[in-house]
Copies of this chain bind each other. A is one copy, B any other.
């Protein structure tokens, strides 16, 4: 059928075209069917949506994702992409082959799948689970779909945390220790999406973090390490597109998680990787058994990809460190590197660094490197190489000047500090966009407190945000207190 194209001002992810219902009926097309659109310069594939309001019969509305298509075009029904047949196959619980996963990853990268199909992919991987072989193939496919970094060094160390714990800013400390020990550790990190700060947000308090591949190489050559934002290098473009379909349903299929992490590590050229798997109430993994299973899969898939993986299963039931929010976490990091700071953050960072050093075959003592000040020196080198002020002091890291302290409503013992609620309070205060916003925790689980004792101090950069966050903290009780020896949690 010949149709005349009209442009339509919409930024769809996939190559949508709008047709009038009567033209679609003539061609026997359903919504979301594919069509071939023949132009003078070749044929492109569009995904059909119907609209009797926005287009007239004889017209084809073309969105900008489709590229340059204009004038009169020939429209014919096109078969669905092979990747949709493979998603269908996985829905029927058949194992997917390597080339089938390649095809799916390719079509996701090129935005050739509709949201219905992408949703089906995620659900199929979630309900029918992935075999180890599928996870391996998927990791490779995803790694091959993006940019890659490569290194001269035989050992390239790296670290990933599956997330879910507030504070927990171990990465800058660990990278400083490992780099100081002479091991190459080109670390890229994410910004926060739903948390109060990502490592990239915290590091940005010290220095620029959006380094391209060339800048990363330069910083690593100078210092053995870097602390960059991963978004400026396109290591796993498919990952974000899959996450888009996982998030609305809070699905995080096991195999997809492993493939997502390890494909990025492979693209980054890493050879020895430590994965931090926190578990506990309010974190991503709820039981030790699940954490162990995930760790085994990371190791086996890593092995297949030629990487050495070590996993640390850690306590994820409560925040790590004192501060939550970019500046407040940066203060914790600088304190620990300077020899003081929160004990749990210091201890966890040293433990993880030691495991990674051992995994990478380096004969070095992480605790000694931290205590000697060599880690701090190396951290300052990295900050300088990335364009920040290497001489920054704690007094220059100023949290939001509007502050209020929430106090204990009763005598008792702190029995739980809730990651999710702490996050919400910090975000309401303005984190991570307002770097000084967030909160400081004055107590850890197990501490005895008296009525009126300070529990946490909320910081914000303006008064209305402060009021909103304080309100939330007083209502939601992110820090739970019970009388000593009380085991009843709630009567429902």
Contact = CB atoms under 8 A, between A and B. Distances in A.
Contacts of A124: 123, 127
A267 to B, nearest CB: 23
A116 to B, nearest CB: 4
Interface string A245-265: 101111100000000000000
Interface string A21-47: 000011010111100000000000000
Report the copy number of this chain in the oligomer. 2
Contact of A8 (B9, B127, B243, B248): B9
A431 B120 CA distance: 32
Interface string A76-116: 00001000100110010100000000000000000000111
Interface in A26-71: 26, 28, 30-33, 49, 51, 53-54
Given A9-B54, A123-B91, A117 B248 contact: yes
A53 B11 contact: yes
Contacts of A80: 248
A114 B8 contact: no
Interface in A189-231: 191-194
A91 B249 contact: yes
Interface string A324-361: 00000000000000000000000000000000000000
Contacts of A289: none
Interface in A299-314: none
A84 B248 contact: yes
Contact of A10 (B8, B33, B87, B249): B8
A105 to B, nearest CB: 18
A119 interface: yes
A128 interface: yes
A433 B114 contact: no
A87 B249 contact: yes
A175 interface: no
B25 A433 contact: yes
A118 interface: yes
A427 interface: yes
A10 B193 CA distance: 28
Contacts of A126: 91
Of A32, A124, A243, A248, most buried by chain B (CB within 10 Å of CB) is A248
B30 A193 contact: yes
A422 interface: no
Contacts of A10: 8-10, 54
9 contacts: A11-B18, A26-B433, A114-B115, A114-B248, A115-B119, A116-B118, A116-B245, A116-B249, A120-B122
- Nearest first, the 4 A-B pairs at minimum CB distance are A119-B119, A115-B115, A116-B119, A123-B123
Interface of A: 8-11, 13, 18, 25-26, 28, 30-33, 49, 51, 53-54, 80, 84, 87-88, 91, 93, 114-120, 122-124, 126-128, 191-194, 243-245, 247-251, 427, 433
Given A10-B54, A30-B248, A127-B127, 11 more contacts: A10-B10, A25-B433, A84-B249, A88-B251, A91-B251, A114-B248, A116-B116, A117-B248, A120-B249, A123-B123, A123-B124
